[in-house]
Amino acid sequence: MTTYFKRAALAAFVVTTSAVTAGAQEAEPTLDQAVNDAFASATGWFVNFIFSPFPGTSFPWIVAWLVIAATIFTIYFGLIQFRAFPHSIALVKGDYSDPNDAGEVSHFQALATALSGTVGLGNIAGVAVAVGIGGPGATFWMILAGLMGMASKFTECTLGVKYRNEFPDGHVSGGPMYYLDKGFAERGLPGGKVLAVLFAIFCILGSLGGGNMFQSNQAHQQIAGIVGEYPGWITGVIFAGVVFAVIIGGLKSIAQVTEKVVPFMGILYVLAALVIILMNADKIGWAFGQIFAGAFTGLGVAGGLVGALIQGFKRAAFSNEAGVGSAAIAHSAVKTKEPITEGFVSLLEPFIDTVVICTMTALVIIISGQLVSDPETGLYILTEGGSIQTLDGSSGVSLTSAAFSSAFSWFPYVLAVAVILFAFSTMISWSYYGLKAWTFLFGEGKTTEIVFKVIFCIFVVIGAAANLGPVIDFSDAAIFAMAVVNIAGLYFLMPIVKRELDSYMSRLKSGEIRKFK
Amino acid sequence: MTGKFVVGFDGSETAQRALDFATERAIAQGGTIVVAYVLEWSPYSFLTPQEVAERSQRRKDELARAETAIIEPAQRAAEAKGVRVETVLRYGHIAEIICEIAEAPDVAQIFIGRNGRSSLGSRVFGSVAGHLVQASPVPCTIVP
């Protein structure tokens, strides 16, 4: 069975990659257009399947899948994201860290590393896409999805640590492919291995899509917005060169510098958003009014309430990756005697990523008046494509850029640096996630690793050269496909997490688990 | 003044001078030397996913290397001069950990080498010696 999947996976990659590159070589008007057309035709069937609606409705089944899962985990673990929030903060501060474990990866470091993979263009461009199509109301559903997603993240990251693999040379690999395999075996359930292989395949696709192409695509759009239009493949080749230098050339210093600069860039971004919001303090009440009214009426957006809800949930899931399983790969390397503590720490991720950063972006776009509405009806005016008309016709990262530059004319330059850094750090994180999935399927080894890394670099160029539409569709589809498999497994494994939780909580209450600070 | 003399040691030339100086005092006063090697580490630094995955193994390697290449030779050399030597190997902020070790009731003094550099980093963030002078719970000798 595993061999069959390995062959199928490899065949899929070869077909996809060759279809794209072959298309790129045809004599089309431009190289970008050729890449885009080839990409859209090669991936269309996959995107259509993932986003197919329930029969007779326009509601994608995948959105319901994520929301229902987050709701079930929230109820099953008794609102753990709210109950354990203070304890999560204490863990990140190091209050419960044994001084004898100094030098190991701390809870803070695991959280920061996982966040560097999720905080990125989903928070800047993704939010603009959500608000641009679903209106301000999408923000409400995005926040709700973020809050609920905390429980999903808690579940998967606990399992990630519990079932990780420690290899003889000391390095650690973990994530859904390991807990699906081992967890199912432990519970005597069949199908764990199949789910693990499926997850690994989708994880590789997700790493090439959302973790790679979407990033280079939006980075190009932001740079082109500043220096003027030029072919996307140029940005792609430069990005691919730097990524190649880091992941193949072993130039770790670039990644280390990025890893240290990105958190400060994130703080700068949030501070700038806060300043803009405070500069328009008189509009804050109105903006929240728009968010609530839009959430329950749609305020004229395509699809009304459901349209706003779908956009909000979609973009939140894409941004914070709760239920997707990627964060479990990053968290699984933490050395702790209590896997559940990593679950507690990880539930802060959707809160920081979605509830804080995404909401900031949305508020700036709304408050700065980028979305055009009819003064008489109060409803938003739609373009022919179905998205909301914006002041200068921008969308995606350009819309966020326009919103910020309405307060600070120089901000697009700062945003361009932030976008490039976020894109790069997300790419490095996802190249690692993809590699872990790849080695799970094809085994550990220098040659197999190089093959994946080269494919990864090729997709950097494709992402920058393709249009936003097909890229964003494929990115979403791949990431959500990971969630399909991961969440299916989580339903069967959540009793294990429940046992861990109950045991830990009773020992915390009795004082057996104590603070060191 | 007898008791334990804590020596901040990292294998460098200046640290060796501090250890020699402290050893002479310990022999004269009947004290014990505590060779303290602190590996600089902050739990709040940022790591790449690759570094996170490899950290546990790297920590083992770092500790083994510190033990065999730095701590043990220093211990043997000092003991050969006829002084009792204890060793401490810890991770953390160097000055803070040395102060923590010096909190023990039988510690009489801290000895540390001065590297003599007046780099911008030292001026902005302070040096280990500077920190110790400010925060040490016992008398602190800076050996030039």
Asked whether the beta carbons of A90 and A96 are under 8 A apart, the reply is yes
**Residue from the list A102, A109, A252 with its beta carbon closest to the beta carbon of B52:** A109
User: Rounded to two decimals, what is the model's pTM?
Assistant: 0.85
Return the residue of B nearest to A254 by Cα. B48
The reply to whether residue B90 touches residue A102, judged by beta carbons under 8 angstroms, is: yes
Assigned fold of A5-507: Amino acid/polyamine transporter I (1.20.1740)
3-class SS of residue A473: helix
Here the tokens at position A160 are 């990630």
- Interchain contact, B43 vs A94, CB within 8 Å: yes
Which residue on chain B is closest to A332 by alpha carbon? B53
- Which fold, B4-143? Rossmann fold (3.40.50)
Write a three-state SS string for A155-186.
HHHHHHHHCCEECCCCCEECCHHHHHHHHHHH
**Which positions in chain B touch A102 (Cβ < 8 Å)?**
41, 43, 90-92
B contacts of A97 (beta carbons < 8 Å): 43
Each of the 517 residues of chain A gets a pLDDT tens digit; together they read 333 334 434 444 433 444 444 433 344 457 767 777 787 787 888 888 888 888 887 778 888 898 899 999 999 999 999 999 999 999 999 999 888 888 888 999 889 888 888 887 788 888 998 999 889 999 999 999 999 999 999 999 999 999 998 877 777 788 999 999 999 999 999 989 999 999 999 999 889 888 888 888 888 887 888 888 888 889 899 989 888 888 877 666 676 777 777 888 888 888 999 999 999 999 999 999 999 988 888 776 777 788 888 889 888 887 888 899 988 988 887 877 899 999 999 999 999 999 999 999 999 999 998 888 888 888 888 888 788 888 888 888 889 989 999 888 888 888 888 888 888 888 888 888 999 999 999 987 888 989 999 999 999 988 888 776 777 777 778 888 999 999 999 999 999 999 999 999 999 999 998 888 7
| A247 to chain B: closest CA residue | B50
Q: How far apart are CA A510 and CA A18, in angstroms?
A: 60
Q: Where are the domains positioned within chain A?
A: 5-507
| Number of inter-chain CB pairs under 8 A, A vs B | 85
Q: CB distance B62–A252 less than 8 Å?
A: no
CB proximity list for A386: less than 8 A, separation 6 or greater: A133, A302
φ/ψ of residue B39, rounded to 5: -85, 120
Answer whether B96 touches A (CB < 8 Å): no
Q: Cβ A429–B46 below 8 Å, yes or no?
A: no
* Distance in angstroms (rounded) separating the CA atoms of residues A363 and A356: 11
Question: Which residues of chain A lie closer than 8 angstroms to B46, CB-CB?
Answer: 109, 112-113, 116, 259-260, 262-263
Chain B residues close to A263, C-beta within 8 Å: 46
- Give how far Cα A162 sits from Cα of A167, A338, A461, A485, A497, Å: 15, 8, 37, 19, 9
Residue of B nearest to A101 (CA): B91
As a residue count, chain B comes to 144
Of B48, B53, B91, the CB nearest to A103: B91
Give the distance from residue B58's alpha carbon to the nearest chain A alpha carbon, in angstroms.
9
Q: How far is CA B118 from the centre of its chain?
A: 20
Delimit the domains of chain B by residue range: 4-143
